[in-house]
Amino acid sequence: MAVIRDIMPAFQLLQPGTVADAQKLLAQHDADAWIMAGGMDSFDWLKDRIKRPKVLVDLSGIEELRGIRATADGVEIGAMTRLSEVVGHPLIKEKYGLLAQAAELVASPQIRNQGTLGGNVSQDARCWYYRAGWPCYRAGGNICYADTPVGRNREHAILHAERCVAVNPSDTAPALIALDAKFVVQTPKGRQVMDAEHYFVGPEIDITRMNILRPGFLLMAIQIPSTWAGAQFYFEKMRDRNVWDFPLLNVASAMKLSRSNIQDIRIAVNAAAARPLRLKAVEDAVRGRECSPATGEAAGKLAVQGAVPLQFNAYKIPLMRNLVKRAIGGVQEAAWAS
């Protein structure tokens, strides 16, 4: 387990006031720079002295990275917008309530008042071997300590595990995928806009990262189109404790109904794999079918096909199956009540 030392290593603190200044600093310091948003993930690394950056670039003074703005085709949320602002914003609550639900279940009120939306989707794996500085695959070694006969892997992956079995811990990520959000990333070569699901990477692509961010990259904003505004939403998070804990599993769905039939749907889960998973096979299977318990049951079974449990996390398979089932049944109940 991690030894909390609470004494951070020395580094140079840089606090740019504009995106342009931040870009110059990131270009100047390249791999020596550590980007800090709300600091919830960063301070853990620094206090444990596992990460020792030479330069820390604090984005908290860049106002252009904050705020929630209505656009011609939806809403744009600055990456440095606090989670508590996302939870309470009238436009998000009215039209994109799925994101508000997910953000409200992140950690505790104190952390939501400091943590940012960009930080929540960009945080690193929480595997205790990795966080404690063990030389595992993700840290550049040649072993996964969690995936051994004596490894502790209750919170780890059941899908798409390749060498590393750590999972993505974000609550807002599956909600943004279900809402078909776009991530705006500033790179040294220019600005890129990508689908939310393509922001995240698994170990088969790069075992040392959980997203596409590299030295010099900066997450600017998250855009949510109006396509799913006002749809029927469902979000559920399973965790050991009702406050603070990371998800054992979570699910997010956005559904459009035509009477009792599923006209269209997007559904995603997280904490089942190293990246949030959009369940396209489930979407295709239930689209056009009646929104019923039988459809939910079939969807749940389909969702866990190919799941491989580790020594201590077999419970995640029936848990994921039932979460997906409820994500469809829960939307159905909400629709009937409206």
Q: Are residues 78 and 45 in the same domain?
A: no
> Looking at the domain assignment, is residue 182 inside a domain?
yes
In tens, the pLDDT along 62-78 reads 999 999 999 999 999 99
Q: What is the pLDDT of residue 25?
A: 98
Domain match, 78 and 40 both: no
Please indicate, yes or no, whether residues 73 and 101 belong to a single structural domain of this protein. Answer: yes
Domain end call among 33, 58, 83: 58
Query: Which range marks the domain in which residue 49 is found?
Result: 1-58
The confidence score (pLDDT) of residue 6 equals: 65
pLDDT band at residue 2, thresholds of 50, 70 and 90? low
* Alpha carbons 261 and 205: distance in angstroms, whole number: 37
Angle between helices 293-303 and 316-337 (to 10 degrees): 150
Q: Supply the CATH number for residue 322's domain.
A: 3.30.390.50
Residue 81 lies in a domain: yes
Question: Do residues 109 and 238 share a domain?
Answer: yes
Inform me whether the pLDDT recorded for 336 exceeds 90: no
Mean pLDDT across the chain, nearest whole number? 94
Residue 114 burial (10 A CB sphere; 0-12, 13-18, 19+): middle
CB atoms within 10 A of CB 318: 11
Number of domains composing the chain: 2
Same domain assignment for residues 19 and 73: no
Q: CB burial class (10 A; 0-12, 13-18, 19+) of residue 47?
A: middle
Residue 156 Cα to chain centre, angstroms? 15
Residues 276 and 318 in one domain: yes
pLDDT in tens, 279-332: 999 999 999 999 999 999 999 999 999 999 999 999 999 999 999 999 998 764
| pLDDT the model gives residue 9 | 86
